[in-house]
Structure 1
Amino acid sequence: MTDSSAFSAAAAPSSRAQAAPLGHLAVLQAQGADAVEFLHGQLTQDVKSLDASHARLAGYCTAKGRLLATAVVWRQPAEEPAIRALVDAGVAPAWQKRLSMFVLRAKVRIAPLPLQAFGVSAGPAALAALATGAGAELPRAAWARAELPSGTWIGAPAAGAALRWWWLAEAGREGALAGAADPAPAEAWRAADIAAGLPWITAATQDLFIPQTLNLDLAGGVSFTKGCYPGQEVVARSHYLGKLKRRSFAGLVRAGVADPSALPPADIFHDGDAQPCGRVVNAADTASGTALLFECTLAAAHAGGLRLGAPDGLAIELQALPYALGEDAA
């Protein structure tokens, strides 16, 4: 297994910050007196214990425990309770519609927000200039959140030495970092998300995976003590009974793909086997090749010889993840 920084373009420290527009992400807001209680009963995350200075990863499942969305969620300061969620733009409209179906008499309104998402990364030498542009010191820890003059800043997990943030900017604030950060491609940010082991459910991968097979529990996105939510029985059963047979892994294909975003949910094969052993979750183009986050059987991953798309397809090199897969991956 090789170092994940091989495909994490955003991991290398620089004297200048890097800012990538993340047009593939959108923001939804649930606001109203019952917003916290409502989402607490819908997501895999413990929304009630979420304080205003942190964000968390969360999943939204079907009754069978299959993920329909993954999201970064946080409390937004407002006169009424408000929870915001950063989610893949391709699933946002359907998720909004589905959540709205279950509001019933709850006092909560769910709507998209016209915020622009950016992925910002910086090494130590770039932090002073970045703080000037942002309007204050930025949070240094993953999942720490701050409301600054330039917008909302959330520390993103990183596999490399650079610090990373999701920056949510309102109209008129997009240029705040013009003198402090260089433009960067969204693909570099996607690759850094893969290196960090962050799974994003897209329209192509809805209803395919349970949270644990995407390592959502290892990334802090599942609470096993919060109580009921759609799919909770399936998720809890997978957690408490026996060992998991599938997990997600990071990989690198030493060849470029014309459109990495179209790869999910391409099949993963073990060398020579006719039946697929896994599926691509996310993919991104890098200077080293195509970075993959893929779900796979533990047996096939440990045996090696993984192939993309066909039994004789392109070879996949496993990359290290920043969290341990646990005893079930031994």
Structure 2
Amino acid sequence: MLTLNQLNNLSELPDLALCKLDNWDLISVAGEDRVKFLQSQLTCDVTTLKPGQQTLAAQCTPQGKAWSIFRLIVLEDKILLLQPSSVTEVQLPELQKYAVFSKVEIKKETEYQALGLTGIESDQYIEQKFNTTAMAGPASLIEDGIVIKHPYPSLRYLIILKTQQAESFIQNLTDKVKLFDDSLWNALNIEAGITFIEKQTAALFVPQMVNLQALNGISFKKGCYLGQETIARTKSRGINKRALFLLSGNATATPQVGDNIQIQLNGNWKRVGTIVSSCQYAGSHIQVLAVLPKDSHSENIYQIQDINDSRLTILPLPYSLEE
């Protein structure tokens, strides 16, 4: 199985690459109250979503800090939350404890499996395999699962299939595809400016600090939900002074989630932020997503604390942060 550090950058993507998302969990929310329950817990408006639709969303503490950010996927009989496995041990009990008076069942999903497909031939393969030519939006229900299209930074598909069908899908692609671990999928998320909370950063950031509002993961029109007061006040008063930035550079060691970012000021280094996602390509090339002051700009030079030879600069995000 290939890894990201066998590529110099994403321009070297194979024509067809399959990522096994082994370090991601699917959380299943089933039962007749699943929509009503999640509406009271999450930042997105679950009531507007129909089977075959999806969105980014967050589950927050009562103080408005994100336990987790995930991709919420609506199936006919359940709702799935896709998130990094590391955060599940702290997030899942927090979600379950509020469900005791609702007719819902919340657990780690075992019936379905998540895969990522990317490369210039992925579009054609998906159309042939699942007959998704008539996709009206970014997601399409298929037999035994769902296909979700991500158009940037490189064409890619998130595929959720029942486990048996997923294994067959992988087997049928064996001689057509380069198989990667999920370090490639992580790098594609970083390039797209999308972060997912890991255990190290759970309950540290208001969702606006990781740009969730710019990715349509927060509804400011829905009713009350856990943490809503803080999130709404952050918007209405304009009090959020931090945002998610994409940085690129070089380092001899791989940066870790939770590492500190420093800025060079008057010949000294000062801590200004926290890494929430990171990846390392071949050689010393790295990219990270980090929460920094909103007035940070590309002329600054940044360093990862304790990696003294690291140097990073800010790159443009593929979306706007303008309100």
Name the TM-score, length of structure 2 as normaliser: 0.87
What RMSD in Å do the two structures reach over aligned CA positions? 2.5
Task: Tell me how far 1:213 sits from its aligned partner.
Answer: 0.8
Note if 1:244 corresponds to 2:236. Answer: no
**Aligned counterparts of 1:52 and 1:282: Cα–Cα separation in 2:** 30
What is the match of residue 62 of structure 2? 63
Compared CA separation, residues 47 and 225, structure 1 to 2 (3 A): same
Say which of 272, 284, 289 aligns to 1:277.
272
Task: Name the % identity.
Answer: 25
Partner amino acid for 1:70?
I
The 8 Å contact of residues 22 and 181 in structure 2, kept in 1 or not, is answered as no
**Aligned counterparts of 2:80 and 2:90: Cα–Cα separation in 1:** 16
**Aligned counterparts of 1:121 and 1:138: Cα–Cα separation in 2:** 17
Compared CA separation, residues 311 and 118, structure 1 to 2 (3 A): closer
Compared CA separation, residues 195 and 61, structure 1 to 2 (3 A): same
Note if 1:257 corresponds to 2:257. Answer: no
**Aligned counterparts of 1:9 and 1:154: Cα–Cα separation in 2:** 24
Partner amino acid for 1:264?
V
What is the match of residue 162 of structure 2? 170
* SS in structure 2 at match of 1:91: helix
Note if 1:222 corresponds to 2:218. Answer: yes
Partner amino acid for 1:197?
G
What is the match of residue 187 of structure 1? 183
* SS in structure 1 at match of 2:321: coil
Partner amino acid for 2:81?
A
What is the match of residue 38 of structure 2? 39
**Aligned counterparts of 2:92 and 2:109: Cα–Cα separation in 1:** 12
Say which of 131, 156, 170 aligns to 1:136.
131
Task: Tell me how far 1:170 sits from its aligned partner.
Answer: 2.1
Partner amino acid for 1:210?
V
The number of residue pairs the alignment matches comes to 309
* SS in structure 2 at match of 1:44: coil
**Aligned counterparts of 2:20 and 2:179: Cα–Cα separation in 1:** 8
What is the match of residue 117 of structure 1? 114
* SS in structure 1 at match of 2:86: coil
Say which of 152, 168, 171 aligns to 2:146.
152
Task: Tell me how far 1:224 sits from its aligned partner.
Answer: 0.5
**Aligned counterparts of 2:126 and 2:73: Cα–Cα separation in 1:** 23
Task: Tell me how far 1:169 sits from its aligned partner.
Answer: 2.6
**Aligned counterparts of 1:11 and 1:200: Cα–Cα separation in 2:** 23
The 8 Å contact of residues 298 and 313 in structure 2, kept in 1 or not, is answered as no
Task: Tell me how far 1:252 sits from its aligned partner.
Answer: 1.2
Name the TM-score, length of structure 1 as normaliser: 0.85
Q: Deviations over 1:113-140 (max 9, x none)?
A: 12322111132x44333433x3322686
The 8 Å contact of residues 250 and 291 in structure 1, kept in 2 or not, is answered as yes
| Displaced runs of 4 or more, over 6 A | 138-141
* SS in structure 2 at match of 1:207: coil
**Aligned counterparts of 1:313 and 1:213: Cα–Cα separation in 2:** 27
The 8 Å contact of residues 62 and 231 in structure 1, kept in 2 or not, is answered as yes
Instruction: In structure 2, list runs of 5 or more residues that go unmatched.
Output: 1-6
